[in-house]
Amino acid sequence: MLVQSYHLEVFAPPCAPGAERWCAKATLADDIGDALPYLNATIKGAIPKGLSVYNHAARALTWPLRVGGHTIAVRPREIAISNLVDKDAAATEMQRVVGLINHTWERRAEITPSIEMRQRLKPMEVYKLLPATNCKDCGQPTCFTFALKIIAGEVELEQCAPLFIDAYREKRDKLIALLEGAVN
């Protein structure tokens, strides 16, 4: 087991005092930096394309969770999770992430580590390939808002009905390729 103990701190985000959401930070007793390339290889295939960020030089991996809207950041001696509903959720989610790290480390002989640097898509890259009609069929007020939510993993591309008519076939194909290429 790689992560054997940690100190958990749960707090309201400093930029939003009084908010109803919480953040959690686990300070790890041991350095888990060697596990990051294995997590990078594992995470990139498990989450929506284009959403994880890995920087080997900075020794940091982040990814969002669609369920709950949390963002998780893992560094050699720290795990941070944002946007939690309460302190119990913080402890539960931290245990889940620690379990993922330990499970990945235990399976490292089966995993080809990856130090490939990935970055999040930029909203304007996605927006330029949307129909830009601001029709609101997707439930968002603008196509740019939809682009932001695509990047955050909060909506599915299929929710943009105009994108799936023949007139936007070329843009759709380019956008799908962009989303798929974001982690390749």
| Residues 80 and 154 placed together within one structural domain of the fold | no
Q: Evaluate whether residue 140 is within a structural domain.
A: yes
Alpha-carbon distance of 29 to 79, in angstroms, equals: 11
Residues 48 and 24 in one domain: yes
47 confidence band (pLDDT: 50, 70, 90): low
Q: What is the CATH number of the domain that holds 133?
A: 1.10.15.40
Least Cα distance to 175 among 126, 131, 109, 138 occurs for 126
For the segment 163-181, the average pLDDT, to the nearest whole number, is 88
- State whether 16 and 88 are in the same domain: yes
Stronger pLDDT, 84 or 16, i.e. the higher one: 84
Q: Pick from 110, 131, 159: which residue ends a domain?
A: 110
CA 157 distance to own-chain centroid: 17
- 27 and 92 share one domain: yes
CA distance 102 to 132: 44
Tell me, yes or no, whether 74 and 95 share the same domain.
yes
Domain match, 37 and 106 both = yes
Overall pTM surpassing 0.85 (yes/no): no
Q: Examine the domain organization and report whether 152 and 63 are in the same domain.
A: no
- Tell me which of 114 and 47 has the higher pLDDT: 114
Residue 71: per-residue pLDDT: 86
Q: Are residues 10 and 100 in the same domain?
A: yes
Host domain of residue 176: 123-181
User: What was the pLDDT predicted at 67?
Assistant: 59
Categorize the per-residue pLDDT at 20 as very low, low, confident or very high, splitting at 50, 70 and 90.
confident
| Total domains in the fold of the chain | 2
Q: How far apart are CA 120 and CA 118, in angstroms?
A: 7
Which residues, in sequence order, are bridge partners of residue 80?
25, 73
Residue 13 scores a pLDDT above 50: yes
Whether residues 50 and 99 fall in one domain:
yes
| Position 29 in a domain | yes
Distance from C-alpha of 79 to C-alpha of 102, rounded to nearest angstrom = 13
* The last residue of a domain, from among 110, 145, 170: 110
Q: Say how far apart CA 99 and CA 116 lie, in whole Å.
A: 23
Residues 131 and 80 reside in one and the same domain: no
Residue 87 lies in a domain: yes
